[in-house]
Chains A and B, each alone.
Chain A
Amino acid sequence: MKTRLALLLHVPALAATLAAAGCGDRARDDDTLRIGAIVEMTGEMPAVGASSRNAAELAVGVLNAAGGITVAGKVYKVELLVEDNAAKPDQSAAAANKLITQDNVLAIVGPNASLGAIPASEIAEASQTLLITPWSTNPKTTLDNRTGLPKKYVFRACFTDPFQGQVLARFIMEKLGAKTAGVLYDVASEAPKSQAELFRTTFEELGGSVVAFETYTTGDRDFSAQLTKIKSVNPDVVFLPAYYNDVGLIAQQARRQGIDQPLVGSDAWSSPELIKLSEGAVEGAYFANHYAADIATPTAKKFIGAYQEKYGNPPDDVAALTYDSFGLLFEALRSASAPERQAVRDAMATVSGYTGVTGEIRFSPGSGDPVKSAVIMQVKGDRFTWVMNAAP
Chain B
Amino acid sequence: MPLLLIGGMTLALAIPRFNLFNNYVQMLLMYVGINIILATSLNLVNGYMGEFSLAHAGFMAVGAYTSALLTMHVLPPETHAALFPLAVLAGGAVTSLLGLAVAVPSFKVRGDYLAIITLAFLMIVKSALENIDAIGGPRGIPGIPRLTSVPWVFAWTVALVWLIRNFVYSRYGRGVQAIREDEIASDLMSVDTRRVKILAFMLSSFCAGIAGALFAHLLQFISPRVFDVVKTTEVLIMVYLGGIASIGGSILGAATYTLLLEILRPSTVASLLSWLPPGLFDPLNKYVISHLGVLRMIIMPLLLVLVMIFWPRGIMGKREFRMFIPSRDRKAHRPDSSVGGMSNHGVADSP
CB distance from A258 to the nearest CB of B (A): 30
**In the bound complex, do residue B143 and residue A122 qualify as a contact, i.e. CB atoms below 8 Å apart?**
yes
**In the bound complex, do residue A189 and residue B220 qualify as a contact, i.e. CB atoms below 8 Å apart?**
no
**In the bound complex, do residue A188 and residue B139 qualify as a contact, i.e. CB atoms below 8 Å apart?**
yes
Which residues of chain A come closer than 8 Å to B219, judged between CB atoms? Answer: 90, 93-94, 119
Known: A18-B28, A22-B25, A103-B267. A89 touches B140 (CB 8 A): yes
Which residue of chain A has the shortest Cβ distance to B294 in the bound complex?
A: A42
B293 on interface, CB distance cutoff 8 Å: yes
**In the bound complex, do residue B256 and residue A26 qualify as a contact, i.e. CB atoms below 8 Å apart?**
no
**In the bound complex, do residue B139 and residue A115 qualify as a contact, i.e. CB atoms below 8 Å apart?**
yes
Which residues of chain B come closer than 8 Å to A7, judged between CB atoms? Answer: 315
CB distance from B344 to the nearest CB of A (A): 11
Q: How many A-B residue pairs have CB under 8 A?
A: 124
A209 on interface, CB distance cutoff 8 Å: no
Q: How far is the CA of A84 from the CA of B291 in the complex (A)?
A: 12
Known: A10-B256, A81-B267, A118-B142. A187 touches B221 (CB 8 A): no
CB distance from B317 to the nearest CB of A (A): 9
Which residue of chain A has the shortest Cβ distance to B144 in the bound complex?
A: A122
B137 on interface, CB distance cutoff 8 Å: yes
Q: Which of A21, A90, A119 contacts B268 (CB 8 A)?
A: A21
Which residues of chain B come closer than 8 Å to A74, judged between CB atoms? Answer: none
Which residues of chain A come closer than 8 Å to B146, judged between CB atoms? Answer: 126
**In the bound complex, do residue B263 and residue A217 qualify as a contact, i.e. CB atoms below 8 Å apart?**
no
Q: Which of B24, B270, B271 contacts A97 (CB 8 A)?
A: B24
A41 on interface, CB distance cutoff 8 Å: yes
Interface 1/0 per residue, A185-216 and B, CB below 8 Å: 00111100100000000000000000000000
Interface 1/0 per residue, A117-128 and B, CB below 8 Å: 011001100100
**In the bound complex, do residue B252 and residue A102 qualify as a contact, i.e. CB atoms below 8 Å apart?**
no
Which residue of chain B has the shortest Cβ distance to A13 in the bound complex?
A: B259
Q: How far is the CA of A138 from the CA of B269 in the complex (A)?
A: 35
B258-292 residues with Cβ-Cβ distance < 8 A to A are: 259-260, 262-263, 267-272, 274-275
Q: How far is the CA of A145 from the CA of B34 in the complex (A)?
A: 26
CB distance from B116 to the nearest CB of A (A): 21
B8 on interface, CB distance cutoff 8 Å: no
Residues of A that sit less than 8 Å from B by CB: 1, 4-5, 7-8, 10-11, 14-15, 17-27, 41-42, 81, 83-84, 88-90, 93-94, 97-98, 100-103, 115, 118-119, 122-123, 126, 140, 144-146, 187-190, 193, 217-218
